[in-house]
Amino acid sequence: MRIVVDTNVMISAVLWLGTPHRIVELAEKKQVVLCMTQPMLDELREVLQRRKFQRYLETRHTSVEEIVSALLPLVELYAPTAVADIALADPDDEIFLGCAISADASFLVSGDDHLLRLKQCGKIKIVTPSDFLREAHLGDDEDETITRKPSAQT
């Protein structure tokens, strides 16, 4: 099953244990394929380099590049696809929806209210990490460590 995970959920998955991390564990077990585009990888790198994440990286004795390198074997890269016919409240969300369309993904996993309000785009279900595990029947929904990104936040 191909899925797209937005940057906020991916950061929670690689820096902390909990529901988002279980999605990465599913990818390690080959139960899901994480789909990304190069712009998504670039955004992940850029966000992980922010000052607020430095202490987490230092505590774990790792670097942004080590995290990305460990993630790459779990990822299939797709060409970015423009999302012309869908009005998105936050244009920055286009890279995730475009990737999901390009990859023919079953799910887009997000904590972003803008995306979650869409609920579905074609056959792509847009869900939280807990909802993904529940709907995909691949795990439980306890201890979700990511909260939804408020609509006003960018």
Structural domain contains residue 42: yes
Structural domain contains residue 152: no
Structural domain contains residue 37: yes
Note the pLDDT of residue 87.
64
Note the pLDDT of residue 62.
94
Task: Provide the number of structural domains found in the chain.
Answer: 1
Structural domain contains residue 141: no
Q: In terms of DSSP H, where are the helices of the chain? A: 7-15, 19-28, 38-48, 51-59, 64-71, 94-103, 113-116, 129-136
Note the pLDDT of residue 123.
94
Mind listing the pLDDT tens digit of every residue in the chain (154 residues)?
A: 999 999 999 999 999 999 999 999 999 999 999 999 999 999 999 999 999 999 999 998 999 999 999 999 999 999 988 776 666 666 788 899 999 999 999 999 999 998 999 899 889 999 999 999 999 876 544 444 444 444 444 3
- Position of tokens 């390690």? 28
Structural domain contains residue 110: yes
How many CB atoms are closer than 10 A to CB 131? 17
Structural domain contains residue 142: no
Q: Which two tokens mark 73?
A: 């074997």
Structural domain contains residue 153: no
One DSSP character per residue, 85-99 reads SS--SSGGGHHHHHH
Q: Residue 41 sits in which domain range?
A: 2-136
Give me the CATH number covering residue 24.
3.40.50.1010
The model carries a pTM of: 0.85
